[in-house]
């Protein structure tokens, strides 16, 4: 992430925490700084490690990540195996990813199915519509490895 976007996101999180009645605790601050260093969705374990919070339990990490999610600054990226990755996003933004099911590399896709999805959901009488879409496969690197293994 560029420094500009990073400091912008940082300020937005602080502002939203304030209006949401939350506080920027020391732990939230190191977690937020760790999140800002990733240019891809990361697991709670990876975020904890980069935040140098290995002495904290994962439940605490999850709880603080949930706080960022509640103020609309964090997107959860579900994996096929039921675990999740996390990505810091600007308010009202979301991304779809192409995720390798072996190495869990997640790349942003330059598309959104919003129009089609909202049209269909509204036709069913739904409001406040949200959607999640992630695409899973095997990246070129992992495909090469599995081919070698079975050769
Ligand atoms: Zn891969
Ligand atoms: Zn979308």
Q: The domain spanning residue 136 has which CATH number?
A: 3.30.1490.190
Please state the domain count of the chain. Answer: 2
Specify the pLDDT at position 140: 94
**C-alpha 119 – ligand 2 centre gap (Å):** 13
Specify the pLDDT at position 134: 95
pLDDT digits (tens, 9 = 90+) for 42-51: 999 999 999 9
Q: Are residues 69 and 105 in the same domain?
A: no
Q: Are residues 71 and 13 in the same domain?
A: yes
**C-alpha 110 – ligand 2 centre gap (Å):** 10
Q: Are residues 20 and 54 in the same domain?
A: yes
**C-alpha 75 – ligand 2 centre gap (Å):** 12
Q: The domain spanning residue 89 has which CATH number?
A: 1.10.10.10
pLDDT digits (tens, 9 = 90+) for 131-141: 999 999 999 99
Neighbouring residues of 136: CB distance < 8 A, sequence distance ≥ 6: 79, 80, 99, 100, 101
Specify the pLDDT at position 147: 78
pLDDT digits (tens, 9 = 90+) for 70-81: 999 999 999 999
Q: Are residues 99 and 68 in the same domain?
A: no
**Could you list which residues have their CB under 5 Å from ion ligand 1?**
100, 102-103, 139, 142
Q: Is the pLDDT of residue 4 over 90?
A: no
Q: Are residues 17 and 90 in the same domain?
A: yes
Q: How far apart are CA 24 and CA 39, in angstroms?
A: 23
- DSSP string for 49-94: HHTT-TTS-HHHHHHHHHHHHHTT-EEEEE-TTS-EEEEE--TT--
Domain that holds residue 124: 95-151
* Mean pLDDT rounded to a whole number for the chain: 91
Q: Are residues 83 and 69 in the same domain?
A: yes
Which of 94, 123, 141 finishes a domain? 94
Ligand found nearest the CA of 134: 2
Specify the pLDDT at position 151: 62
pTM listed for this prediction: 0.85
The C-alpha R_g of the chain, in whole angstroms, comes to 17
Tell me the average pLDDT across 26-37: 94
């Amino acid at each position: 992430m560029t420094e500009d976007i990073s400091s912008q996101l940082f300020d937005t999180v602080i502002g939203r925490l304030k209006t949401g009645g939350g506080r920027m605790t020391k732990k939230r601050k190191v977690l937020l700084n760790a999140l800002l260093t990733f240019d891809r969705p990361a697991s709670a374990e990876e975020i904890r490690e980069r935040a140098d919070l290995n002495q904290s339990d994962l439940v605490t990490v999850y709880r603080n990540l949930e706080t960022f999610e509640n103020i609309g600054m964090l997107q959860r990226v579900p994996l096929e195996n039921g675990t999740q990755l996390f990505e810091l996003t600007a308010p009202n933004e979301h991304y779809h990813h192409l995720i390798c099911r072996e190495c869990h590399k997640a790349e942003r896709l330059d598309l959104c199915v919003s129009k089609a999805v909202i049209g269909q959901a509204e036709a069913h009488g739904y409001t406040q519509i949200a959607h999640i879409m992630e695409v899973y496969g095997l990246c070129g690197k992992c495909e090469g490895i599995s081919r070698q293994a079975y050769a």
